Structures are given as C-alpha cells and as structure tokens.
Amino acid sequence: MTFLMGTSFLLALMIFGIPIAFALGLAGVASLAMIVPANSIIAIMTKVVHSTVANNLLLTIPMFVLMAEFLSCGGVAEDLLLSCNRLLRRIRGGMAMACIMAGVVHAAATGSSAASAASLARASFPAMRRAGYAPSFAAGTIAIAGTLAIMIPPSVPFVLYGVVTETSVGKLFLAGIVPGILTAIGYMLTISIVLHVWPHLGPATVKKEEEAVQAAMSGAKPAERGGNIWPMVVLIFIILGGLYSGVATPTEVSALGALGALIISYHSRRMTRHNFLDAVGATLRITTMIIAIIFGAHFLGYFVSFSKVTDSLLFWIAQSGMPASAVMLIIVFIYLMLGMILDQGAIIILTAPITTALMVGLGYDPVWWGVIIIKTAEIGLIHPPLGMALFVTSSVTRTDMRSCFIGIIPYLVTELILLGILIAFPQVSLALVN
C-alpha cells in the first residue's frame, strides 16, 4: 500500500507538469517519510548528494555530451555523409543508406541521439530532397539514423544504466556493438525493401541520385569532399581502443574524446567563438538536467528498497507459477509503452534499478537486460506521440510531424523485429562480453 501511495504521488506530480527531477525528488522524500524517521531521511539525502557528486563515472556524461556538441559545431556529419555517398552513390537508395552509415560513424564518437539527429538532418536532408526522396521518407531515415547513437558505444544511456544498476559500463559498451551494427544493417535492408515496394518514395533513377551527390560535392570546398573522414576515424580508434584495451578508464576516454572533437572542429575551421560558447552552454544544460534527475531517482530508489517491492514481486512470481520469460516480455511491453510518454533517460533512471534486480532474481544477465532496455529506449525515440528524435528532425528540416511519423513506420517495424531477435538470442548481445 505504501508503494502504491508513493507511486501515485509521483504520477500526480508528473501530470501537473512538475519537472521530472523535482517530481522524483519530492515523491521520494515524501514516500520515505511514511516509513523512516526524519533524521534518517536527512542522512539519506546527504549520502545521495555526496555519493552522486563523488562518482567519477558520472564525469563521462558531460564529456560525451561536450564531444557531441563540438562535433556538431565542426560539421563532421557533412564530411561523413559526403564520404559515405561516394561509396554508395551507384546503388538505388544509396544516399539514404549513406545517411545510415554516417549515423553509425557519428554514433561511435558522440553518444547523443539528439545531437546526432540534428547534425545528420542539417547535412543530408537538402541533398536527399534534391535527389528525389519524399520528405516523409527522408525525415524518417534521418531520425532513425540519429537513434543509433543510443546503442552504439560510447552511449550516454548505457552510462546511466551502469550507474544506477552498478553494472560495468565497459561490458555494456561491448554488448552494444553487435546489436548496433545489426540495427544499422536492418535499417539499410529496410531502405532497399521500401524503395522496391514503393519506388515513388525515392529517386526515379540511380543516375538522378548520383547527380545529387555530385552537386553536393561540387558545392563543397575541396577539403570537404570526403577527405576529412580520417580525423573522425582516428578519434573513434582512440576512444574505443583506449576503452577496450584497458589503457584508460571510461572517464579518461570521454575527456580525450571531447578534446579530440575540439581539435577536429578547430582544424576544420568551423569552430567559431559563438559555436564554442553554444556547445559549452548546451553541455551544461543537459548535464545539469541529467544529474538532477539522478538525485531524484536515488531518493525514490531508497524508498523502493525500503518498501521491499522487488522481493515482494519475486515472491509473487514464484507463487503464481508464471514463467520467467513471460514476466520479462510483460516488462518489455511496459517499457515500450513508457517510451511513448516519458523521456528515455528518465525511464532508465527511474525503472532500471527495480527491473534489473527483478530480472537478475529471475536468472537473466544484467548486461543483456541493459541492452534490451536501451533497445526499447531507442524505439521510444521514434515512437509517437513523444519521439524525441522525430521532433529534432522535424524542427531542423521543417518537415510536418505527421509526415515524419509516416516516414518512420517501416523502420519501426524493423526495430520491433530486431528487438525480438535480441530477446530470443541473448548471445547476440553477449558474444563480445563473453
């Protein structure tokens, strides 16, 4: 009963429009007041603030966000797109596939889906429209390419999951590589199928698409015609090599990545004083929001721990005779529903400690479960009515939201199929980890 009262209070605060961080904090403290003395609440609040601020792993969040902002200012997405276009320009749907490939490389050096979607939208939408792609399909392709940053490491959501569930971030990053590559391949197959079934959504001929690529390259400076991809490749090599070789910690790697992104953007002569201040300001806003949400989620997490709701759920499942797989599928469905109405970061911070403890109690691997949660969050980025990646793409490309939602439908079907594969075959996620 106490848990239901606390949850109801949290939902009421969210319905009334209280920011998620304050809603979590207020609900957590008010709920704790029902079961522990006031002195204990003060001690818990002090411990939460100190332990959160003193956690070096959290420094990876502002560094990865800053890296994404610097790369966005440096116009890296334009270079990536031109380079990928040169490889795929003789294939039907090659420009859309090039957008996916650019999204993969961009994701491997950013970790922010919003920043990735915005950069790709500015770089690819005009060229895709010039080539003959329908606005809805072009916007949908860009939005789905941006979501790759949430799965392909380094990923801020993986860091959040690792922090709140005390799971190895290095193992989570490793677990995200194969699902991320598989997801990108699924997107490219979707492009091929869609253009085969509905040819009017893409260029009339491969020649017209190739002409659009040539026009984009002829309008670029010589240094920007696909030759600037190597600094990005070197940056990715440093980030992933340093992380998986054990030479540097995730925190150190994120700092090196931010420095490398600044050097790349400065070397490309696109980093102005105004862009630099915008990038730092955006990083401060995003980081402050995330840390505040973590504070509030920890308060609520203590309440959940004291209420022993996880133990009660495990006992209830054992008594009911419900198989573990059925429980897992029910929770995955709940995550898909939550992704329609809540921010993905808030969902992870709010629910991951509870569901992970439950899944581990049922015998599932916490690293694999982290991949499943991140995959549902990826789907939430493109799922109406919230769909943050769609909102970003719509805003940058000035495409009607309804058209964006229509354009994302084929990819949404692909995402659900991929989610089913990851659930049915855990070894896909755990192959590199093991």
Q: How far apart are CA 127 and CA 133, in angstroms?
A: 9
Yes or no: say if 147 and 184 are a contact pair by the CB < 8 Å rule.
Answer: no
What integer pLDDT is reported at residue 222 of this predicted model? 42
Q: What band does 226 get if pLDDT is binned at 50, 70 and 90?
A: very low
Write out the two tokens for 424. Answer: 């049915």
Greater confidence, 108 or 165? 165
Instruction: Classify the C-alpha dihedral 34-36-37-38 as positive or negative.
Output: negative
Q: Are 342 and 297 in contact (CB under 8 A)?
A: no
| pLDDT higher at 23 or 268 | 23
- The answer to whether 328 and 362 have CB atoms below 8 angstroms apart is yes
- CB contact at 8 A, 326 and 22: no
pLDDT over 50 at 401, yes or no: yes
pLDDT at residue 210, as a whole number: 60
245/172: higher pLDDT: 172
Query: According to the model, what pLDDT value does residue 418 have?
Result: 96
Task: Say whether 206 sits in a helix, a strand or coil.
Answer: helix
pLDDT value at residue 161 = 92
Q: What percent of the chain has pLDDT over 70?
A: 88
- Cα angle for residues 96, 98, 102 (degrees, 5° grid): 120
Q: Taking a C-beta distance cutoff of 8 angstroms, is the pair 417, 186 a contact?
A: yes
**Average pLDDT along the chain:** 81
- Find, among 282, 280, 286, the residue nearest to 156 by Cα: 286
Average pLDDT on 226-249 reads: 73
* Distances, alpha carbon 427 to alpha carbons 118, 161, 290, 349, in Å: 33, 20, 31, 25
Q: What is the pLDDT of residue 1?
A: 65
User: Helices 229-245 and 169-197 meet at what angle, rounded to 10?
Assistant: 140
Asked whether residue 112 carries a pLDDT value surpassing 50, the answer given is yes
- Closest to 73 in 3D by CA, of 264, 299, 288, 346: 264
pLDDT > 90 in the chain, percent = 17
* 90: Cβ contacts below 8 Å, ≥ 6 apart: 206, 210
- The lowest-confidence range among 159-173, 203-217, 232-246, 366-380 is 203-217
* Torsion 77-79-85-88 (CA) sign: negative
Please say if the pLDDT value at position 426 is more than 90.
yes
Residue whose tokens read 């709140």: 164
Query: What integer is the mean pLDDT of 235-249?
Result: 77
- Spatial distance between the Cα atoms of 341 and 20, rounded to a whole number of angstroms: 12
pLDDT > 60? residue 218 = no
Of 125, 89, 165, 157, nearest to 355 by C-alpha is 165
Q: What are the boundaries of each domain within the chain?
A: 2-430
Helix (H) or strand (E) holding 349: helix 344-361
Q: 416-419: long-range contacts at Cβ-Cβ below 8 A with a sequence spacing of 24 or more?
A: 416/379, 417/186, 418/179, 418/182, 418/183, 418/186, 418/375, 419/332, 419/372, 419/375, 419/376, 419/379
pLDDT score of 223 more than 60: no
DSSP state of 141: H
Torsion sign (Cα): 302, 45, 296, 175: negative
pLDDT class of 190 with cuts at 50, 70, 90: very high
The pLDDT of residue 209 is 60
**The pair of three-digit structure tokens given for residue 250, joined into one six-digit string:** 């995730």
More confident residue, 168 or 342: 168
Phi, psi torsion values for 31, nearest 5 degrees:
-70, -40
Candidate from 156-160, 228-232, 248-252, 264-268 with smallest mean pLDDT: 228-232
Of residues 410 and 382, more confidence is placed in 410
Select the more confidently predicted residue: 353 or 182.
182
Is pLDDT of 215 > 70?
no
- Quick one: average pLDDT of 147-151? 88
pLDDT at 86 (0 to 100): 72
Question: Phi, psi (5° rounding) for residue 406?
Answer: -65, -40
pLDDT at position 414 = 95
Helix runs in 198-249, H state only: 206-218, 229-245
Asked whether the predicted pLDDT for residue 390 surpasses 70, the reply is yes
Q: For the ranges 200-209, 347-356, 392-401, which has the lowest average pLDDT?
A: 200-209
Q: Does the structure show a pLDDT above 50 at 227?
A: no
Find out whether 133 and 85 touch, Cβ atoms under 8 Å: no
Question: How would you class 303 by CB atoms within 10 Å of its CB: exposed for 0-12, middle for 13-18, buried for 19 or more?
Answer: buried
**b (16+ CB within 10 A) / e for 34-62:** eeeeeeebeebbeebeeeeeeeeebbbbb
Residue 411 near residue 188, CB atoms below 8 Å: no
Q: CA-CA distance, 101 to 85, in Å (whole number)?
A: 9
> DSSP label at 57?
G
Question: What is the four-CA torsion angle of 221, 121, 289, 248, rounded to 10 degrees?
Answer: -60
Q: Does the pTM exceed 0.75?
A: yes
Dist. CA 188–CA 425, nearest whole Å: 21
Q: Are 212 and 245 in contact (CB under 8 A)?
A: no
What pLDDT digit, counting tens, does each position of 50-91 carry?
Answer: 777 667 767 777 887 788 778 777 667 667 777 777 777 677
